[in-house]
């Protein structure tokens, strides 16, 4: 990334930014499992608040609403230059009922305390939403005019399927937009990467696909006092175990291979030797990474049986028992392969295996680690942390950015926030908070990225 001259970040008021994140957290834009529970007025309030809080950004950009999803366009002076897309979603996950008392500060109070802003969404993803608006407000106030058009995309339901971002992507595709890159949440600055015993910037270059299979065991039903030798529940259990005991093989390939190469080069010594001589040390590497669920997930398609359904009553044999298995699909696999493998594993057991009604999501394309987009995204991050290794990374969960692959050459998933392995457990968990240092770093990163890439 040395050939990119990074523009400086303009001045901004860090204390005001913390208060703004605090206010954003207080809007309860919670995506519930049952959409009927969502308080739609909270999204309207958030939209009004954004317009009021960031007047220069709103004067510079055109705002279009697609349902509750937002698309802002900051027109560039050069229509021939490829645009860029920056992203952050508005919604948050619920707080698990009964855990409110475990929070140091109430989850929707947005308290600024102990050098941090506390509350649900502080990191995921209102920190980024506020960070982007703070950056654009500072640039617009300073009189910055982009050469490339900048699109700011903010989906309203990332935590519940991402239909908002998909609608924005369709709108951009209809305008024949082909951005140089899109950048969204997904990877972080891991402050304690085990392999190098230090920090690394994890830039997501792909994300896994998603599909759920339903395993159904039909049965005769009847009274539980006279059970047959094989019941639907037993057949279902046998099938789930058979499928689970036939995992996809661990493979060091694609984004995870690129990640390990970067980290091993930094680590030096035995790690570097092992990666350079995979023909010999491959099984050892896979064994070591495969022993930890978080790194094992990057090496194969994962199988997770999650829901079971049997009889409606304890003394009735079910006429049908079923189980759901959730898969996260590696970039080299597909939903068709998942179904085929599950059916093969359950062969000979009295069950059917099929897709559920929810459409399968195939793995995203893998983005470049040598393109202009990659260089811009990583150079802007390195300006704050020179010398920290930048590692490509496979995002094992889902983000709104997957919808942008049709309207951008490359899609990157990176949030310039430094968290340790322990700290990152607060995302979707208890005591979520954004340190003031991380918030400042995030604003600087977005301001530098936009000023450099679109300047």
Report residue 272's pLDDT band, with 50, 70 and 90 as the boundaries. Answer: confident
> Is residue 2 over pLDDT 70?
no
3-class SS letters over the chain: CCCCCCCCCCCCCHHHHHHHHHHHHHCCCECCCCHHHCCHHHHHHHHHHHHHHCHHHHHHCEEEEECCEEEEEECCCCCCCCCEEEECCCCECCCCCCCHHHCCCCCCCCCEECCEEECCCCCCCHHHHHHHHHHHHHHHHCCCCCCCCEEEEECCCHHHCCHHHHHHHHHHHHCCCCEEEEEECCCCEEEEECCCCEEEEEEEEEECEEEEEEEEEECCCEECCCCCCCCHHHHHHHHHHHHHCCCCCCCCCHHHHHHHHHHHHHHCHHHHHHHHCHHHHHHHHHHHHHCCHHHHCCCCCEEEEEEEECCCCCCEECCEEEEEEEEEECCCCCHHHHHHHHHHHCCCCCCEEEECCCCCECCCCCCCCCCHHHHHHHHHHHCCCCCCCEEEEEECCCCHHHHHHHCEEEEEECCCCEECCCHHHHCCCCCCEEEHHHHHHHHHHHHHHHHHHHC
Percent of the chain with pLDDT over 70: 100
* Distance between CA atoms of residues 363 and 340, nearest Å: 17
pLDDT in tens, 227-238: 999 999 999 999
pLDDT in tens, 73-121: 999 999 999 999 999 999 999 999 999 999 999 999 999 999 999 999 9
Residue with tokens 């209809």: 174
Parallel, antiparallel or unpaired: strands 222-223 and 352-355: unpaired
The phi, psi pair for 186, rounded to 5°, reads: 140, -55
Is the dihedral angle over the CA atoms 336, 337, 342, 348 positive or is it negative?
Answer: positive
Q: Supply the pLDDT for residue 284.
A: 87
C-alpha angle with apex 47: 398 to 55, nearest 5 degrees?
120
Strands 222-223 and 418-419: unpaired
List beta partners, residue 71.
64, 153
pTM, full prediction: 0.94
Q: What is the mean pLDDT of the chain?
A: 96
For the segment 244-253, the average pLDDT, to the nearest whole number, is: 97
The two tokens of residue 375 are: 């260089």
| pLDDT surpasses 90 at 277 | no
Output the CA–CA distances (angstroms, integers) from residue 268 to 108, 257, 262, 276, in the order listed.
45, 16, 10, 11
C-alpha span between 302 and 353 (Å, rounded): 17
Can you tell me the distance from the alpha carbon of 444 to that of 447, in angstroms, rounded to the nearest whole number? 5
Q: Given a cut of 70, is residue 192 above it in pLDDT?
A: yes
Question: How many degrees, rounded to 5, is the angle at CA 360 between CA 348 and CA 355?
Answer: 30
- Whether residue 280 is predicted with pLDDT greater than 90 in this model: the reply is no
Q: Which residues contact 42 (CB under 8 A, 6 or more apart)?
A: 27, 28, 29, 30
* Interval 390-419: pLDDT, tens: 999 999 999 999 999 999 999 999 999 999
Q: How far apart are CA 336 and CA 79, in angstroms?
A: 41
Encode pLDDT of 12-46 as tens digits: 999 999 999 999 999 999 999 899 999 999 999 99
Residue 1 has pLDDT above 50, yes or no: no
Spatial distance between the Cα atoms of 60 and 82, rounded to a whole number of angstroms = 19
Residue whose C-alpha is closest to residue 87's, from 124, 42, 43: 124
The two beta strands, 84-87 and 150-154, are: parallel
Read off the pLDDT of each residue in 290-319 and give the average, rounded to a whole number: 96
Burial level of 75, CB count in 10 A (0-12/13-18/19+)?
Answer: middle
How many other CB atoms are found less than 10 A from the CB of residue 1? 15
Cα distance between residue 378 and residue 393, in whole Å: 13
């Amino acid at each position: 990334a040395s050939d990119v001259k990074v523009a400086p970040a303009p001045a901004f008021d860090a204390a005001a930014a913390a208060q703004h994140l605090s206010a954003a957290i207080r809007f309860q834009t919670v995506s519930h499992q049952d959409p009927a529970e969502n308080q739609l007025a909270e999204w309207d309030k958030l939209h009004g608040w954004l317009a009021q809080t960031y007047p220069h950004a709103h004067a510079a950009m055109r705002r279009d609403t697609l349902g509750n999803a937002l698309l802002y366009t900051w027109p560039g002076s050069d229509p021939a230059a490829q645009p860029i897309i920056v992203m952050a979603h508005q919604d948050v996950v619920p707080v698990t009922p009964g855990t409110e008392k475990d929070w140091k500060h109430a989850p929707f109070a947005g308290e600024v305390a102990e050098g941090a802003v506390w509350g649900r969404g502080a990191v995921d993803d209102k920190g980024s939403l506020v960070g982007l608006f703070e950056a654009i407000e500072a640039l617009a106030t300073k009189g910055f005019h982009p050469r490339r058009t900048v699109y700011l995309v903010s989906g309203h339901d990332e935590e519940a399927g991402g239909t908002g971002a998909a609608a924005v992507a369709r709108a951009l595709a209809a305008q024949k937009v082909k951005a140089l890159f899109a950048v969204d949440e997904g990877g972080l600055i891991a402050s304690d990467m085990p392999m190098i015993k230090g920090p690394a910037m994890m830039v997501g270059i792909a994300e896994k696909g998603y599909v759920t299979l339903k395993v159904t065991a039909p049965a005769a039903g009847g009274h539980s006092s006279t059970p047959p030798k094989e019941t639907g529940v037993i057949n279902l259990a046998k099938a789930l175990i058979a499928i689970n005991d036939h995992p996809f093989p661990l493979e060091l390939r694609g984004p995870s291979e690129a990640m390990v190469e970067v980290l091993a080069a930094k680590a030096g010594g035995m790690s570097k030797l092992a990666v350079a001589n995979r023909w010999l040390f491959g099984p050892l590497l896979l064994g070591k990474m495969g022993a930890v669920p978080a790194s094992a997930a990057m090496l194969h398609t994962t199988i997770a049986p999650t829901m079971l359904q049997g009889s409606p009553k304890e003394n009735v044999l079910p006429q049908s028992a079923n189980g759901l298995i959730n898969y996260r699909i590696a970039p080299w696999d597909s939903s068709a392969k998942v179904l085929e493998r599950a059916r093969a594993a359950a062969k000979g057991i009295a069950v059917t295996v099929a897709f559920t009604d929810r459409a399968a999501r195939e793995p995203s394309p893998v983005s470049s680690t040598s393109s202009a987009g990659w260089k811009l995204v990583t150079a802007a991050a390195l300006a704050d942390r020179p010398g920290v290794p930048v590692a490509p990374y496979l995002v094992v969960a889902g983000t709104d950015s997957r919808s942008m692959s049709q309207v951008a050459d490359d899609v990157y998933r990176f949030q310039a926030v430094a968290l340790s392995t322990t700290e990152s457990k607060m995302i979707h968990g208890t005591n979520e908070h954004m340190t003031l240092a991380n918030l400042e770093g995030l604003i600087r990163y977005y301001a530098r990225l936009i000023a450099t890439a679109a300047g």
